Amino acid sequence: MKKLPKEAFIHDQRLIQRTKSFFMERLSQELSLLEVQAPILTYQGNGVQDDLNGTEKPVTVQSQTLDKPLEIVQSLAKWKRQLLARSDFDVGSGIITQMRAIRPDEEFLSERHSLYVEQWDWEKVIADDDRTLDYLKDTVEKIYKTMLETDHVVAKATLRDSLLPKTITFIHTEDLMKQYPDLTPKQREQEACKEYGAIFLIGIGGELSDGSIHDGRAPDYDDWTTGTDQGRYGLNGDILVWNPVLEDAFEISSMGIRVSPQVMQQQLQIRGCEHRLNYLWHQQLMAGHLPQTIGGGIGQSRLVMFLLQKEHIGQVQFSVWPEALEVAVL
């Protein structure tokens, strides 16, 4: 076990907490979000659980006092939308939570992948006519503004230069595919982040003109089929930055305008998942009982790891790792 001097440990912990608190406070102000407590469990089979890109399997839990099987949440996209409906939030307002989850289906544990997930999960009510690419971009720019402000705070505290460019660049997955047709999606992200420093990659989950998909996204989650302009589709995306320590593209957030009843039905059909329309949550959406929303998740440890220029996510969070993996533990 590696030892870290007490002074260095205390310094890092205080800086981690300061970074998280500042970012969450500023993001809540920018997007008009109210902090609420997040659940860790959901009932199995009610449709509230998210399957992210469609391959992850949630952790099941059996309670001695409840006769229904439970699952640890993987994200809170559907739960947040239910809460906004139940509490009758106004258009332009929303919620933010500090979600804790376990995702055991990570293909491998690395310097950026942990079984333990902690993220800011946020959701905001929008009007029907806000379901546009312009509204999505405006929201991304507000999030990026908060990232910039947090970067400046950490830069001042650690006597380093700012890491982030002044602006974020918007790129559609279709355009990135055409620019780098011979590269894999991850290699394309690397090239774009290296060039621009920070990008918002639009259109995650939908089929591109060459028949490929840049990356998976659940069909009842974000809108990846609505047409925008010039043959482009999708009202969702990922925020990625260039990580100078890892010398690689680094995902900070996935987000998007959520599915409308019509869009969800279409995307479920594309993925062959029409059976989900029998779930309670999906029936609520189809009946018009859930508001139109925009939302996403922002990785807490990811953002802190990036801003503090750490080499491994294990330096900013406590999790479990293979014995063979050398981790510079806190």
Query: Is residue 127 helix, strand or coil?
Result: coil
Report residue 60's pLDDT band, with 50, 70 and 90 as the boundaries: confident
Reference 299, options 247, 246, 238, 243; nearest CA is 238
Residues 80-124 pLDDT 10s: 999 999 999 999 999 999 988 877 766 666 777 777 788 999 999
The pLDDT assigned to 304 comes to 96
The pLDDT assigned to 63 comes to 80
226 compared with 64, residue with greater pLDDT:
226
Residues 184-243 pLDDT 10s: 999 999 999 999 999 999 999 999 999 999 999 999 989 999 999 888 999 999 999 999
**Continuous segment of H or E residues that includes residue 95:** strand 94-102
Which positions ≥6 away from 79 have C-beta within 8 Å?
39, 42, 48, 73
pTM (2 d.p.): 0.91
The pLDDT assigned to 107 comes to 62
The pLDDT assigned to 106 comes to 61
* C-beta separation of 185 from 215 below 8 A: yes
Query: Is residue 201 helix, strand or coil?
Result: strand
Alpha-carbon span 136 to 170, nearest angstrom: 11
Query: CA–CA distance from 158 to each of 11, 15, 111, 243, 308 (Å)?
Result: 10, 9, 22, 17, 8
Active-site residue set: 50, 103, 119, 238, 251, 254
| Partner residues linked to 170 by β-bridges | 200
Chain centroid offset of residue 84 CA: 19
pLDDT of 245 > 90? The answer is yes
Report residue 72's pLDDT band, with 50, 70 and 90 as the boundaries: confident
Q: What is the mean pLDDT of residues 164-189?
A: 97
* C-beta separation of 35 from 28 below 8 A: yes
